[in-house]
Amino acid sequence: MYKILTLNNISIVGLDRLPRDKYEVASEIQHPDAILVRSHNMHEMAIPPTLKAVGRAGAGVNNIPVARLSEGGVAVFNAPGANANAVKEAVLAGLLVSARNICQAWEAARTLTGTDKEIHREVEAQKKRFVGVELPGRTLGVVGLGSIGVQVANAALALGMRVVGYDPQITVQRAWALSAQVEQATNLDHLLSQADFLSLHVPLLEATRGLINRERLRNIKPEARLLNFARAEIVDEDAVVDAIEEGKIAAYICDFPSNRLKGHPQVIALPHLGASTYEAEENCAVMVVEQIREFLENGN
């Protein structure tokens, strides 16, 4: 009997791929052969000596001590691309919502008080306050052309945007998937200087931690909107909030709330919802469970 420890809720559609006569799956279990995890931070965790594999039901592996596990002979699997459509849709929502100031306008409209006549007067004032921008002809810069970045870039073309991508390590497979209409920048600062919207799609690595910092923000257009559905740490939050307050960028739309960002009118911070669709949760769970099963049963 293989023992699988789940550190987060993993879609039952994936768990059902583990035959119950061969697998015991539980959120509390001694001597696990494998761990299934979503966002739980495993860095502080002691590695059970029986552990052979870890499966992350998502793309990023920054919550997993990959080096420590590899040294101990534990295999690590993830689910690249399995939630890419969900994240793409969240980014497109962020793009549209920020272009039209939807969140700020909704918040203001929601709290209107007075008679209907007074409310209508205030509506007229708000129409002026929340004037937005249209997307056709505007430039979207996409930093990182992995499975999510490529999908975001291709989808933005359909909105009439000019799209410029940047990824010095784009794979041949991704390059084929990228529309020929997506321009490619050879230099990040050059990309930043052109972008009306900038969307980040790089993994969190030492090289990408603080990638968008104070210095880089100086190259961004003052009307630019920055979208981060990748990882919080890729952006220096202090620098972004300062840049917004100094009028050096227009808005920050991200998937990571924090005290620094709280209450800021030009910031939209969602609770890490990018990959949270039923479809993506199922796809990730199935992909990672199949890999764990193949590894435990056949050693591949």
Nearer to ligand MLT, 14 or 58 (CB): 58
Q: How many CA atoms lie within 13 A of 273 on its CB side?
A: 12
Beta carbon of residue 124, minimum distance to ligand MLT (angstroms, whole number): 41
DSSP state of 87: H
Per-position x/- string for 246-275, each x denoting binding to ligand MLT as judged by CB under 6 A, each - no binding: --------------------------x--x
User: Does 163 engage in binding with ligand MLT (CB under 6 A)?
Assistant: no
30-69 positions binding ligand MLT, by CB under 6 A: 38-39, 58-60
Which residue, 98, 75, 138, is CA-closest to 291? 75
* Minimum CB distance to ligand MLT smaller for 220 or for 275: 275
Least separation in angstroms between CB 272 and ligand MLT: 6
Task: State which residue, 159 or 270, has the beta carbon closest to ligand MLT.
Answer: 270
In the complex, the smallest distance separating the C-beta of residue 280 from ligand MLT, rounded to whole angstroms, is 8
Q: CB of 32 within 8 A of CB of 1? A: no
CB of 273 to ligand MLT, least distance (A): 8
Q: Cβ-closest residue to ligand MLT?
A: 58
* Least distance (Å) between residue 78 CB and ligand MLT: 8
103 contact partners, CB below 8 Å, separation of at least 6? 97, 268
Question: Toward ligand MLT, which CB reaches closer, 84 or 135?
Answer: 84
- Residues in region 66-125 near ligand MLT by CB under 6 A: 83
CB of 289 to ligand MLT, least distance (A): 15
Give the other-Cβ count within 10 Å of 178's Cβ: 20
Nearest distance from C-beta of residue 110 to ligand MLT, angstroms: 28
Q: Considering beta carbons, is residue 135 or 142 the nearer one to ligand MLT?
A: 142
DSSP E strands in 177-263: the ranges are 183-184, 197-200, 225-228, 251-254
> Could you give the CA distance from residue 112 to residue 170 in angstroms, rounded to a whole number?
49
Which long-range CB contacts under 8 A does 76-79 form with residues at least 24 apart?
77/53, 77/288, 77/291, 77/292, 77/295, 78/288, 79/55, 79/283, 79/284, 79/287, 79/288
Q: 25: alpha, beta or left, given left = phi > 0 and alpha = psi -120 to 50?
A: beta
**What residues make contact with ligand MLT under the rule CB under 6 A?**
38-39, 58-60, 83, 272, 275
